[in-house]
A and B are shown apart, each in its own frame.
Chain A
Amino acid sequence: MVNPENLNAALLDAHDRAEGGRLAELYHKAASISEQVGKMDQACFYLTHAYVFALQEGLAMSADLHARLKALGREE
């Protein structure tokens, strides 16, 4: 289980360094944590951020993230 405080610090660090790939990974983790505790709106918020940074970085994971968001009615 990821410690939310550590995750938050890691996200801030990745934002500071403008590390898009790491941001996609970390937001994806944040989404998983929220989903595990049933907070779907929050999970979709994080999934969205993961998707945006995955798009920016041209990462293959963007296709999965898009599919997930679309299945949840959050993307077209």
Chain B
Amino acid sequence: MGFVQPVDLERVMRPVHQAQGLANEFYVDPNLFEQEKSAVFFRNWTAIGFCKDVPEPGDAMPADLLGQPLLVVHGRDGIVRVFQNTCRHRGMILMEKKGRLRGAIRCPYHSWCYDHDGALKTTPHVGGPGKNIHEDIDRSTLGLFPIRCHVWRDILFVNLSGDAPEFDDYAADLKARWAEFDQPLHPGGDESAFRLELDTNWKLAVENYCESYHLPWVHPGLNSYSRLEDHYNIEQPGHFSGQGTRVYRPMINEGGAPFADFEGLGDKWQAGAEYVALYPNVLLGVHRDHAFAIILQPVTHEKTIEHVQLYYATGDTAVADRSDLRAANAELWKTVFAEDIFVVEGMQRGRHGAKFDGGRFSPIMDSATHLFHHWVASQFAASLQDKEPV
């Protein structure tokens, strides 16, 4: 196929009861995956990692977004910044591994040095041996390329194109919806972070996450108390979609002790929980006593890594006697997410079937998934027309 055509998008962007899903090529065509990088990921706010992985000033880590080498730096001034991980001199990768910067960022090739804010500090021997200046080398124009970034709920988002709306506008509706959860998040310990490597296109992980339709079939254990009729769709066209439940039950340990709840939550959250995909690549869950985030890292058109992190309302010290509960909670979610693997991988294999036409949605049960398809199609349409998403 090569490049997407407007006609392929129009049928996706019809109302859900008339729409077709995204065509096979959106999942199995490497050329379309290349097009997707700029159309979907680079022009929007895309998650690349968790700030808990650079907790202290001086902490730095490389990151990769679809082949774009990035460098995350927690500066001495406390600000987390993202740069292109490329020296302005000869294009060398600056940092290969996560580590603690004691001082400047030194390129390992010719030792050009950068400050934590990206400013070029010195250019050794640039004017000849022992002479670190030259009239044609203007350091003020040769700082590290900054990447527009924003941190929300410990998640580090970047906008490579630099022209997306402000993040607070981009995520305004979800921030408002979950305003009660706008309070400190404490990452659990090592047991609360894990990753799943999937042989599937990243979009199928989003689509499966958005809907509750599959729960009784794929997660019968969850369905024993959280039945289909206890769920509702969450739909915010152009931004996010997902599902919620009205019968969340907090976990307790053998002594009957629960996790601490987030403070000041309203009645809705006593038995309510919500699961939302913030487009393009973040899957979020909130409950009265814990939250989680999944960052989808598209590796190829048929490989995706899910980076999962669980959070609690109180820090390590306060929950030291809850480590068993945290481990059990992480195991529960690991089991649930693992139960989804066969469907997201199965749908990927199914999309190699040439006669599949994108599929028909349930007008009732698949509306959140369709919203995501509509958003993806809108991004391609906007990319084709070089205008705002319709």
Q: Give bound CA distance, A49 to B132, whole Å.
A: 11
Chain B residues, Cβ within 8 Å of A52: 106, 111, 113, 122, 124
Our pick among B103, B104, B133 for the contact of A76 (Cβ within 8 Å) is B133
Contact, CB under 8 Å: A57 / B130: no
With contacts A51-B122, A76-B139 taken as known, whether A56 is within 8 angstroms of B129 at the C-beta atoms is no
CB proximity of B338 to chain A, nearest CB, Å: 41
Contact, CB under 8 Å: A74 / B102: no
Main secondary structure of the interface of B (DSSP, over half): loop
Contact, CB under 8 Å: A56 / B102: yes
Q: Give bound CA distance, A52 to B112, whole Å.
A: 8
Which B-chain residue is minimally distant from A53 (CB atoms)?
Answer: B106
Chain B residues, Cβ within 8 Å of A73: 131, 133
Which A-chain residue is minimally distant from B138 (CB atoms)?
Answer: A76
Chain B residues, Cβ within 8 Å of A42: 130
CB proximity of A4 to chain B, nearest CB, Å: 18
Our pick among B104, B130, B139 for the contact of A48 (Cβ within 8 Å) is B130
Q: Give bound CA distance, A60 to B135, whole Å.
A: 28
With contacts A48-B132, A52-B124, A75-B132 taken as known, whether A20 is within 8 angstroms of B102 at the C-beta atoms is yes
**Is B307 located at the chain interface by the 8 A CB criterion?**
no
Contact, CB under 8 Å: A59 / B103: yes
CB proximity of B140 to chain A, nearest CB, Å: 10
Chain A residues, Cβ within 8 Å of B101: 58
Q: Give bound CA distance, A48 to B123, whole Å.
A: 9
What's the tally of chain A residues with a CB closer than 8 Å to chain B?
Answer: 24
Contact, CB under 8 Å: B103 / A74: no
Contact, CB under 8 Å: B103 / A45: no
Contact, CB under 8 Å: B125 / A48: yes
Which B-chain residue is minimally distant from A46 (CB atoms)?
Answer: B130
Contact, CB under 8 Å: A75 / B106: no
Chain A residues, Cβ within 8 Å of B132: 48, 69, 74-76
Contact, CB under 8 Å: B130 / A55: no
With contacts A52-B106, A52-B113, A57-B103 taken as known, whether A45 is within 8 angstroms of B121 at the C-beta atoms is no
Q: A48-B124, A48-B132, A62-B103 are known contacts; what are 16 more A-B pairs with Cβ within 8 Å?
A: A45-B125, A45-B129, A46-B130, A47-B130, A48-B130, A52-B111, A52-B122, A55-B121, A55-B122, A56-B103, A56-B104, A59-B103, A73-B131, A74-B130, A74-B132, A74-B133
List chain A positions with a Cβ less than 8 A from chain B. Answer: 20, 41-49, 51-52, 54-59, 62, 69, 73-76
8 contacts between A and B (CB under 8 A): A48-B130, A52-B113, A52-B122, A57-B102, A57-B103, A73-B131, A74-B130, A76-B133
List chain B positions with a Cβ less than 8 A from chain A. Answer: 101-104, 106, 111, 113, 121-122, 124-125, 129-133, 139
Q: Which 6 A-B pairs have the closest CB atoms?
A: A58-B103, A44-B130, A45-B130, A55-B104, A58-B102, A56-B106
